[in-house]
Structure 1
Amino acid sequence: MQFGGINYLAVLVAAAAGFGTGMIWYMVFGNAWMKALGKNQEDLKPKPAPFIAAVLCQLVMAFMLAGLIGHLGDAQVTLTNGVLSGALVWGGFVITTMIVNHAFQGASRALTLIDGGHWLAVLIVMGAIIGQFGA
């Protein structure tokens, strides 16, 4: 299942798990998220385009994370290093970008915490799966 050093099964499972993590996250924090966003359910009627974008972006994210974890070397591709890699990517790139964007957009801190927490959970889950399966 590997081609060019990427375990595509791990990428697919990680992407699906990341999407599932988001579903669970926003089921739990959905009301607080809508309040922080200043929207209600009527404003956010489900449309297919955001879900399609989410699935495609989860695949890209899992693929890129697998590439990064794979660069550690075969002996270092572990569950622990996968989780750590996901957390480091989040801390170095994801939450920092979100904080800047949300600051300029005037978004609430609550929105940044909810959305940022979601991406931390997604990257940790993806990293764990990729680390366990092998990049």
Structure 2
Amino acid sequence: MANMSWIAIIVAAAAGFFVGGLWYGPLFGKAWMKERGFTEEELKEGNMALIYGTTFLLSIVSAIFLGHLLAHFGEMSMRSTMMIAIGVAIGFVVPAIGTNYLFSRATFKLFAIDAGYWTVFYAAMGLVFAFLG
């Protein structure tokens, strides 16, 4: 792998995880639950340690690969780093979930909530890599 900062990777993963807590909590939590057809009681029935633990591990995987990609470019400006990080979301993640949502007949509102989350998730990680990477 190209030279990567493991500290930046862990902080980037934590930043993305934090965005998720805000996004699916106070910002869009109720709208997301409505679009998914969940009640608060149903969400509490899940194995939260497994869900949050696995989510954080997956955030680390995303941060590793974004960090690896960014490391190949060497020194970059904040603008370039953010363009690549957000570009990963808009160019790869959003179209992938959009395709899944079309075939599963999910609402546009749910797509917008989730696509927005992934865009902000990668933007947050990009900021971390811009400062610590």
Same fold flag (TM > 0.5): yes
Does the residue aligned with 2:116 lie in a helix, a strand or coil? helix
The correspondence of residues 90-109 of structure 1 with structure 2, limited to 5 A, is 90-109=89-108
Q: Give the TM-score normalised by the residue count of structure 1.
A: 0.90
Question: C-alpha distance in 2, partners of 1:81/1:54?
Answer: 27
Residues 85 and 123 of structure 2 are in contact (CA less than 8 Å); yes or no, is this contact kept in structure 1?
yes
Q: RMSD between aligned alpha carbons?
A: 1.4
**What's the CA shift string for 1:79-103, capped at 9, x where partnerless?**
2222111111011110000000011
Match of 1:119 in 2: 118
* Partner amino acid, structure 2, of 1:66: G
Residues 23 and 117 of structure 2 are in contact (CA less than 8 Å); yes or no, is this contact kept in structure 1?
yes
* Partner amino acid, structure 1, of 2:18: G
Aligned residues: 130
Match of 2:14 in 1: 16
Match of 1:31 in 2: 30
Q: Give the TM-score normalised by the residue count of structure 2.
A: 0.91
The correspondence of residues 67-82 of structure 1 with structure 2, limited to 5 A, is 67-73=68-74, 75-76=75-76, 78-82=77-81
**Structure 1 runs (4+) greater than 6 angstroms displaced:** none
* Partner amino acid, structure 1, of 2:121: V
Question: C-alpha distance in 2, partners of 1:106/1:53?
Answer: 26
Question: C-alpha distance in 2, partners of 1:50/1:116?
Answer: 20
| Greater mean alpha carbon deviation, residues 43-52 or residues 103-112 | 43-52
Unaligned runs of 5+ in 2: none
Unaligned runs of 5+ in 1: none
Matched, 1:49 2:47: no
